[in-house]
Amino acid sequence: MDDVLDGPVGAAAVEQDNRKILNIGSGVEIYMNELIVEIEQALNRKAHRVRNAENPGGVGRLAAERSQAAALLDFQAKINLGYGLGRMILQDNRFNINNF
């Protein structure tokens, strides 16, 4: 969660362009199935995946385009996705699997 906090804290200190939308993240592309596996591993649970064979559209992969955050905030992700998910689950009670 440190990276997630570094972005807004840095943005609050920028005087110009204070209404820009900035992506924070590693910039590393990830396929949705890989993201699901990362979440499953972090939670130590299997997700119930629902697929629509008749309409396979939707987002297949994601990547945050972070060049503006890098330029304005000198932002660079320091924590990889798997580690960050694990920390988030441990530190934020809303993600406690006993609540589901």
Tens digit of pLDDT for each residue in 38-90? 999 998 889 998 887 787 777 778 788 888 888 888 888 888 888 988 888 88
Look up residue 26 and give its DSSP letter.
-
| Number of domains the chain is built from | 1
Q: Within the chain, where are the H helices?
A: 2-12, 32-43, 67-73, 81-91
75 CB-contact burial (10 Å; exposed 0-12 / middle 13-18 / buried 19+): buried
C-alpha distances in Å from residue 51, one per residue of 15, 33, 36, 41, 76: 45, 11, 13, 20, 34
The answer to whether the CB of 8 falls within 8 A of the CB of 95 is no
Compute the average pLDDT of residues 32-42. 92
* Choice between 72 and 100, residue whose per-residue pLDDT is larger: 72
pLDDT value at 12 more than 80: no
Structural domain for 88, as ranges:
2-50+57-99
